Structure 1
Amino acid sequence: MTVDWSGDKVVFRRAAAEHMDEVLSVLDEAAGWLEARGVSQWPSRFEAAWVQETLTRGETWLVEIGGKVAGTATVDWSDPLWADLGGTAGYVHRMAVRRWASGLGSVILDWAGDTARQRGANTLRLDCVKSNGRLRSYYETQGFVHCGDVPVGGAPGQRQDDGPVTWVSRYELDLEAR
């Protein structure tokens, strides 16, 4: 899919195993930027194992502008963090943009909503660390509604059955209202 952003064409390309380094590079750049600002959204570096499964399933995407990788996002179709809520949803995970593409997030979220709608979903869901007030506000300005805070195991950005507990805020966008 191709859309316009700031006068440039944005291309969403499905990432494959050979794109692992590009995906990790974008995630690590974003994670380092957050860490430098004292935001504990993600670990300082991502492990390949954390994205391998969604790459294999074809759910991770590279976002390109002018042939250069500007961002990445995963849109998948289930998330146990939302097991208490019904409905058909798409789930956005690990959305990140390179600093030179700051502002591209709204284009990615619009694309993710369209992608979920095409798959028959009526909502788009995502989450972030509860303490990340700036990101929470951003999601709300994009039309997402806060659906509660829940604990998850593992450090920020991980989902494990053990380890430290991180509280995350869940957000949902009604695709039928858009």
Structure 2
Amino acid sequence: MTADWHGVEVVFQRVGVDRMDEVLSVLDEAAGWLNARGIRQWPARFEATWVEEAISRGDTWLVAAGDKVAGTVTMDWSDPLWADADGAAGYVHRMAVLRWAAGIGARILDWAANAARQRGANSLRLDCVTSNDRLRAYYEAHGFAHRGDVPVGGAPGQRLEDGPATWVSRYELALPRGDLRVIATR
């Protein structure tokens, strides 16, 4: 079964460094929209160095609805922010949606849950800035459970060993075994 959104096929395209500008464009639009609303989830602009490693590993995807880019997501398979948590998990990072595609985030989360299940994970984890109440409520409405707040170094959206601390809320979705939905990837 292919995922659809408003009757349009949703396709997840693994990207290489040749498409980094497209990923950065999606992230920057989302970051600008958040910042204009006073939400300090991410910086005003993303640096290429913040995404280059994940793209080089093949862990970053562009999400297309029909023939148009609608968003991006990175799936990681470890995260030091969760070093105290047991069990195999997938980690959603830098999930962003272009404004014209608002609402497609649920399809991205479904895809991420299926990708994690396919790799044998028993949970899907993510985090967001603690002060982003709207995003926290969104994750909770999608079945994610709050697993505590922790500080991270660097600016919002950045992970450094030092620098100013940003508090983030961790969320986890249990992934029961069962039928996997096939979502188109390229």
Indicate whether the TM-score tops 0.5: yes
SS of equivalent residue, structure 2 residue 72: strand
Q: Give the match for residue 57 of structure 1.
A: 57
The whole-number CA distance in structure 1 between the counterparts of 2:146 and 2:49 is 29
Following TM superposition, by how much is the alpha carbon of 1:176 offset from its aligned partner in structure 2, in angstroms? 1.1
The whole-number CA distance in structure 1 between the counterparts of 2:2 and 2:38 is 34
* Equivalent AA in structure 2 for residue 149 of structure 1: D
The whole-number CA distance in structure 2 between the counterparts of 1:19 and 1:3 is 23
Q: Give the match for residue 183 of structure 2.
A: none
The whole-number CA distance in structure 1 between the counterparts of 2:82 and 2:161 is 16
Identity %: 71
Number of positions where the alignment pairs a residue of Structure 1 with one of Structure 2? 178
Answering whether residue 37 of structure 2 is matched by residue 70 of structure 1, we say no
For structure 2, the residue ranges without an aligned partner over 5 or more in a row are 179-186
Q: Give the match for residue 136 of structure 2.
A: 136
Q: Give the match for residue 92 of structure 2.
A: 92
Following TM superposition, by how much is the alpha carbon of 1:2 offset from its aligned partner in structure 2, in angstroms? 4.0
Following TM superposition, by how much is the alpha carbon of 1:67 offset from its aligned partner in structure 2, in angstroms? 1.3
Deviations for 1:49-91, whole angstroms, at most 9, x for unmatched residues? 0000100110000000121111000011000000001100000
TM-score, normalising length from structure 1?
Answer: 0.98
- Report if aligned partners of 2:117, 2:177 keep a CA contact under 8 Å in 1: no
- Shift of the 44–36 alpha-carbon distance from structure 1 to 2, 3 Å rule, reads same
For structure 1, the residue ranges without an aligned partner over 5 or more in a row are none
* Equivalent AA in structure 2 for residue 132 of structure 1: N
The whole-number CA distance in structure 2 between the counterparts of 1:130 and 1:17 is 31
The whole-number CA distance in structure 2 between the counterparts of 1:2 and 1:19 is 24
Following TM superposition, by how much is the alpha carbon of 1:177 offset from its aligned partner in structure 2, in angstroms? 6.9
Q: What's the Cα RMSD here?
A: 1.1
